[in-house]
Amino acid sequence: MRRFALLASALALSIGCAPSNPALVIDGVLAPTDDCIFDGTSLVFSLSPTLDTRAYTPALRPAGIRYLAALRVTSRLIPLFNDRYPLRAEPNVLTLQYADVEILQVDGTAFDFGGLPNPYRISTAATIPPGTSSAGASGVAGLEIIPPLYGLSLTEVPGRILVSVRITGTTSGGATITSGEYLFPMDLCPGCLVACDPELTTSTAVCLFGQDRTAIIGPNADPDDGCIAAP
């Protein structure tokens, strides 16, 4: 019942939900700044992550169909070091190691990736010190939420999926901590994030091609994409 309550909330609000272990919380999917920086102190989140599932040629999409997410993660561990006798090194520096990801359809059933495992585990790397206040300390975990092999199964599939993520890390004192489930919707749309401008000689830059923001391409970007220079 808890999962379906989360599904209903995600569909109604189009934002992530994170009932979690208070020691480790996933706050949301960060939106990049204009300089394509993902800032762990930012509270600007992507409320509607979008993946363009069209199979563009390698000239435009050399890494394939994938979604890279920058998750803001907050540790609420408290500092326990002691710089006086008896000395004690800080045991609560948290190193994030991996995330367990499950792709769901909107009815809560697991998406079929044609033999690939779902849920699956992906690696990450981030170090978060203990917090100095009740707000905790935050960092950024970069995750390939949709790897290219999985993206191939989403080619030309329109609609919406739900992404479930749990992140696990280990403290410098040797304790393993796993966040609660963070659930967010992702919209899929074939060909929706690329626009053609025949007057361009080069393509406009976007932070990550094929996700969240529209890229404007010129006729020289890819000879097979149909963008033709004006006569």
Longest dimension (CA), the chain: 80
Model confidence pLDDT, tens digit, residues 33-68: 877 888 877 788 888 899 999 888 887 888 899 999
82 assigned to some structural domain: yes
Q: Is residue 199 part of a domain?
A: no
Q: What is the mean pLDDT of the chain?
A: 83
The strand pair at 50-52 and 94-104 is best described as unpaired
In this prediction, residues 188-197 reach a mean pLDDT of: 88
What's the number of domains the chain is made of? 1
At residue 196, the pLDDT reads: 84
Q: Please indicate, yes or no, if residue 197 is contained in any of the structural domains.
A: no
Whether 50 contacts 29, CB under 8 Å: no
In a domain, 147, yes or no: yes
pLDDT value of position 147: 96
| Residue 111 lies inside a defined structural domain of this protein | yes
The DSSP result for 36-48, as a single string, is S---TT---B-SS
| Contact of 19 with 181, CB cutoff 8 Å | yes
Q: What is the pLDDT of residue 46?
A: 87
What torsion do the CA atoms of 206, 31, 78, 6 make, to the nearest 10 degrees? -130
Residue 203 corresponds to which tokens in the numbers above? 């393509």
| Rounded CA separation 90/200 (Å) | 55
CATH number at residue 69: 2.70.50
pLDDT in tens, 103-161: 999 999 999 999 999 999 999 999 999 988 777 899 999 999 999 999 999 987 889 99
- The answer to whether position 98 is within a domain reads yes
The domain of 51 spans 2-190
CA distances from 43 to 25, 120, 134 (A): 14, 28, 17
Average pLDDT over residues 73-95: 84
In a domain, 51, yes or no: yes
- Please report whether residue 66 resides in a domain: yes
